[in-house]
A = this chain, B = another copy of it.
Amino acid sequence: MMAELYDFKVDEIMDVFVLIKSADKRTAKNGKKFIAFVFEDQSGELPGMYWDASDEDVVLFQPGKVVRLNAKRENYQGKPQVKIIGLRLAKETEPHDADYFMPHAPEKRSEIEDEINQFIFDITQPTWARIVRNLLQKHHDEFFVYPAAKTNHHAFAGGLSFHTLSMLRLGKAVVNQYECINAALLYAGTILHDIGKTVELSGAVSTSYTTAGNLVGHISIADGEIVAACQTLKINPEQEDVLLLRHMILSHHGLLEYGSPVRPRLLEAEILHRLDEMDASIMMIETALKHTPNGDFSERIFGMDQRSFYKPNDRSDKKD
């Protein structure tokens, strides 16, 4: 098995294949060019400066390329980084498949797809089922490849569908525990709640916001898509069951301040909002704690109000 970025301790020398996640060309104060890299593999990501870059270097070392990195693991002002000793593109005879090095959802795409399809079978109300199928088909490829966000949570390939599935599983537990919940509505809303991100975001690599993302946003994009699907499917967009589904999507950020134009006013909408936050929070904290030593606090987590989280010393008694 190949060595990975996070296998090395501070001051150790590494010689590894990694993916270039981003490469910003900059000019130093002395006028010389350098490249501010972020390298990544499945163990995580680390930045590194490449000084005195030539023009060919700038052309060669593009995001998405796999490189062989010879470097020393360091800490710069409390943050981990690598000091680059040598760098070259991976050869065809070496590991060079970008997709292999990119962080992925922890489950296989095909399994995620299968399990989501099972949930669609449980959407027993026909209007919702038809709209869900229509939109999932329309955005099928993006839905199973895109991340769930640019930087915060589930920011990896397949993150969008994995986050959706994770919420569906939690939702099933809630449905089983409480009476009165309309499971079909909860599942339909969950599957569509972030589908607008397939238009809001640019893709899985070097993710950025599209113009539609900036000017309309994924909540209104999804709402518009439901209206469009109704027109295609000859469903009246103002009949009650459609209004319920639109409300699920529109209200899922919970508060107006967070970008929902209406607050949840259905039991299922309130639950959807809470499942979304629950799953995103757990994922963000787990990610932050992954590289935190026992008995220490993590880095501050942007999406958790800049809180840092504590990793207790003795983790022996955790879930087995």
Contacts and interface: CB of A to CB of B under 8 A. Distances in A.
Q: Can you tell how many copies of this chain the complex includes?
A: 6
A64 to B, nearest CB: 21
A153 interface: no
A137 to B, nearest CB: 17
A202 interface: no
Interface stretch (A37-45, A54-62, A87-95, A220-228): A220-228
Interface string A52-91: 0000000000000000000000111100000100000000
Contacts of A216: 223, 243, 246-247, 250, 262
A185 B315 CA distance: 11
Contacts of A75: 27
Given A26-B76, A319-B179, A237 B215 contact: no
A216 B270 CA distance: 15
Interface string A263-283: 111110011001001100110
Given A212-B238, A238-B199, A219 B177 contact: no
Enumerate the 9 nearest inter-chain pairs by beta-carbon distance, A residue then B residue, closest first: A173-B173, A224-B227, A215-B247, A182-B318, A125-B317, A261-B261, A183-B319, A267-B285, A215-B243
A319 B172 CA distance: 11
A8 B211 CA distance: 28
A286 B199 CA distance: 29
Contacts of A51: 29
Interface stretch (A112-120, A140-148, A155-163, A306-314): A306-314
A278 B315 CA distance: 27
A234 to B, nearest CB: 12
A266 B315 CA distance: 13
A240 B180 contact: no
Nearest to A290: B180
A225 to B, nearest CB: 8
A49 interface: yes
Given A173-B173, A243-B211, A258-B256, A265 B308 contact: yes
Contacts of A247: 215-216
B263 A307 contact: yes
A215 B228 contact: no
24 contacts: A27-B76, A29-B51, A170-B173, A178-B282, A181-B318, A184-B317, A211-B243, A214-B265, A215-B247, A215-B265, A216-B223, A216-B246, A220-B223, A223-B223, A224-B237, A228-B231, A259-B261, A259-B262, A263-B307, A265-B308, A266-B312, A270-B281, A270-B304, A271-B282
